[in-house]
Amino acid sequence: MAYKSIDVQPISGALGAEILGADLSKDLDNETWDDIHQAFLDNLVVFFRGQDLSIERHKAVGARFGPLHVHPLVKTRIPEHPEVLVIEKSPDEKVADGNIWHTDVSFAQEPPLGSLLYAEVLPPYGGDTMWTNMYLAYETLSDGMKAVLGGLNALHGMTSYWQKDGPRHGGQKRTVNIDFDKVAAMEPAIHPIVRTHPETGRKALYVNPAFTMHIEGMTEDESKPILDYLYKHATRPEFTCRFRWSPGALGIWDNRCAMHLPINDYTGHARRMRRVTVQGDRPH
């Protein structure tokens, strides 16, 4: 794809690209925004290094993609800016919440279109994030599997990973402060296992191990082997990219066709990121 105003450098063969030549702290013209939007659709996740983004500017960049989303459960928000989440791990914490392949907030009836993560404080090593291309994950399934999945929905909610006393956390202090009363009251969302991207028209797998509970009409035990197969397939290394953060880097990803995984390999060091999330529509 040719872009007129930016330089787009892929970081892997599957997805992910660094965008050079855009200073997001300044107002950009519409042509540049159109290029950035096209690069986002083409690459699923795009990165800008060395950006000087105030909270307001971070929100303004997010708003170029659509109205901003307020997380229904996570309480670690900036008080005057409910749309801005703080994703932080201090040197004494071992658990990093969200440290599982996931698609942001897929348990919502209308899950977010995309997320914009900005690096504020980084460990001296580690703390990278990985993404995987869920178009490729779908397209490389057999015709038989595509035919089976094409008619199926899955329930998305707060799986055991997220429960207060769930096995994941084993009494460790948690980094993300979740409103567990709201978790208990939440109705699962039902989404197609294969969704069609509303802008590109391409089909993508839409299940993830953090929030997908089971396939509609099947028990959890019956669903598990199918879902486990899909997760293993979707996270094949050749479908992924991995980004090494630097201070002031911004990553913008498309939750409609990519899953991501923050890597928790920096215990003893601090990491602090800011996330703005963009509202999406009901998957079809």
Which residues form the catalytic set?
102, 104, 260, 275
**273 pairs with which residues across the strands?**
87, 119
Rule CB under 6 A: which residues touch ligand SIN?
87, 98, 104, 115, 117, 129, 260, 262, 273, 275
Residue number, 223 or 277, with CB nearest to ligand SIN: 277
| Residue 262 Cβ vs ligand SIN, minimum distance, rounded to whole Å | 3
Residue number, 16 or 98, with CB nearest to ligand SIN: 98
Q: Determine how many CB atoms are found less than 10 A away from the CB of residue 3.
A: 17
Query: 3-class DSSP state for residue 46?
Result: strand
The rounded distance, in Å, linking the Cα atoms of 50 and 159 is: 36
Residue partners of 87: CB distance under 8 A and separation at least 6: 76, 97, 98, 117, 175, 176, 262, 272, 273, 274, 275
Q: What is the DSSP letter of 257?
A: T
| Residue 206 Cβ vs ligand SIN, minimum distance, rounded to whole Å | 17
Q: Do residues 243 and 129 lie in contact, with contact meaning Cβ atoms separated by under 8 Å?
A: yes
Residue number, 203 or 275, with CB nearest to ligand SIN: 275
Residue number, 111 or 203, with CB nearest to ligand SIN: 111
| Residue 268 Cβ vs ligand SIN, minimum distance, rounded to whole Å | 17
| Residue 5 Cβ vs ligand SIN, minimum distance, rounded to whole Å | 28
The rounded distance, in Å, linking the Cα atoms of 35 and 71 is: 28
Q: Which residue is nearest to ligand SIN (CB)?
A: 262
Residue partners of 22: CB distance under 8 A and separation at least 6: 5, 6, 28, 32, 36, 48
The pair of structure tokens assigned to 198 is 């509303």
